[in-house]
Amino acid sequence: MSTKPLNPQRRVIGGRAVVNRDWIREFTGASVGTAARWYKVRDEQPKEHRHPEKERIDGTDFYDEEQFRAFYTWFQQDKASKVLKADPELYELNAEDIVSINKAAALLNFNGPSVIRKYRRDNPDYFPDSVGEVEGPTGRMIPGFRVGDLQDFDRNRTGDKLGKAGRRPGPQDEAPVGRPSALEEVLAAELSTRAGGEPLTATQLAEQYAAEAIERDGYHPSLAAELSVQYGGPQRSWEYAVRNALEHHPAATPAHSEADRRAVIALAALRERGDVRGLAASLAREHGGSPDVWSRAVNAARRLTDPTS
């Protein structure tokens, strides 16, 4: 799917410079959805730093350049202030050391390893890859990360892809800034055609496509892989979209086998809790059925998250 080229425009009217949204995107590197959201939530921004109001000129929306630059400077500063500070111990360790996902979360002052799992799931390629496995506190092998990679990640943190995970409590700006995600890139053309209406993020559009596919053909465990092939983008991003579609569009979800239903529940639990010991037994207590049945569901979910296993 080709990406529509930007057409940045800047005009001077009465001694005042105005710019269009493509100019804003080129200047900031923001995606279609992000640039649209900045304007959509302008009333929630501090009045003295607010995104400028649009002005319609020759059928195109323009924005006061000076006001936008002031808004963007404030936005960058506010965004950077929300980045968590790493524990000084991170820089006392040898860069070649390997630490567990639990230790990595502690060094980065995250609330727990689930934060890293959320980054790996929701923002592919943002957080460093695991370099292997190390023994966890229960004796189970868990992901390990190179300290040097964690140091690089911390130095480069600007808040560009921060979601709810890893942020300070309280109101947050939800619009990420920076290079488009892989999902945004493959859906850019469709997002661009919808930019004049209600702004959609790439994740919301992917969820919409997933819901339409479920309504049309029914849910099946390989749906995320099929959507990844059809539209492009990482399979893990489509797994997230499919799971959200199943949760948010129950009317579009036809009846499917009990095994499929349990696999969906197990997949959600794996994503949320991690591959912890006793997961099948916990699901059996929470949803009924035998641990053996849920063990098979957990194994099916593992294959969905790692098709090579």
Q: Give the H or E element holding residue 63.
A: strand 60-64
Q: Which residue has the tokens 């923002």?
A: 123
pLDDT at 202: 77
Helix, strand, or coil (residue 145): strand
| pTM exceeding the 0.85 threshold for the entire prediction | no
pLDDT at 261: 76
Q: How far apart are CA 153 and CA 126, in angstroms?
A: 9
pLDDT at 23: 94
The angle formed by the CA atoms of residues 221, 224 and 230, to the nearest 5 degrees, is 130
Which tokens go with 195?
A: 């930019």
Mean pLDDT of 289-307: 79
Mean pLDDT of 18-34: 89
Q: pLDDT per residue over 124-171, tens digit each?
A: 677 899 999 998 888 889 999 999 999 988 887 755 443 333 333 333
Helix, strand, or coil (residue 125): coil
Q: How far apart are CA 83 and CA 78, in angstroms?
A: 9
- Taking the CA of residue 80 as centre, how many other CA atoms within 13 Å lie in the half-sphere pointing to its CB? 9
Which tokens go with 209?
A: 């496509």
Q: Give the H or E element holding residue 134.
A: strand 132-135
Mean pLDDT of 183-210: 67
